[in-house]
Amino acid sequence: MTWTTIPALWVAIAVLAGPARAAEPILGRWLLVSQEVGGQKTEVDDLTLRIVMRGQTLEFGYSVPVNKIQFVSLKFTARPDGTDADVTNANGQKIGTAKVTKASPLQYKLVIQGQNKPTATGTMTVSADHKTLTWDSESKQPGRAAPTRTVQIYSRQ
């Protein structure tokens, strides 16, 4: 094999391997840094959102520190096509459903609902530099006329 055939070999391998799948920009570990509920800034607790790819699904895991160990308090694994997925608590019990739809390369639509809980509908948007994740949602409390808007800002860790 000569040096001139090596670049041709790499091109052939790349073509045979097929197009590489681009990583979802939402994947990663995100730390909640600010929150606004109903137009009012609120204090934030230590909350980490970890999003990983599991085959064709996105796994969302919300965790809080307990004795310096991250404790997963809520989790769901959903296809980004709007299919219903179970939301489970720390004990693995189903507490609701979630739907995730990829709206654009940097934006995902979410609907999270549970029995006796308000339905949260909104968007998760990754910033152009991929360093910030914004969850902008509205939820309607039973018995209230107007929905409550919540904006959470996460920083990539």
Question: What are 4-58's pLDDT values in tens digits?
Answer: 434 443 333 333 333 334 589 999 999 999 999 999 999 988 999 999 999 999 9
- Structural domain contains residue 130: yes
- Structural domain contains residue 12: no
**Which residue bears the tokens 């219903």?**
84
- Structural domain contains residue 109: yes
Question: Which residue, 6, 18, 20, 110, is CA-closest to 62?
Answer: 110
Residue 1 has pLDDT above 70, yes or no: no
**Which residue range is the domain that position 80 belongs to?**
26-156
What burial letters (b/e) apply to 122-138, b meaning 16+ CB within 10 Å?
A: bebbbeeeeeebbbebe
Residues 6+ positions from 78 with CB-CB distance below 8 Å: 57, 58, 60, 85, 98, 99, 100
pLDDT score of 131: 97
CATH code where residue 47 lies: 2.40.128.20
- Structural domain contains residue 57: yes
Number of domains in the chain: 1
- Structural domain contains residue 50: yes
Tens digits of residue pLDDT in 62-113: 999 888 788 889 999 999 999 999 999 999 999 999 999 999 999 999 999 9
Q: Is the pTM of this model over 0.85?
A: no
- Structural domain contains residue 121: yes
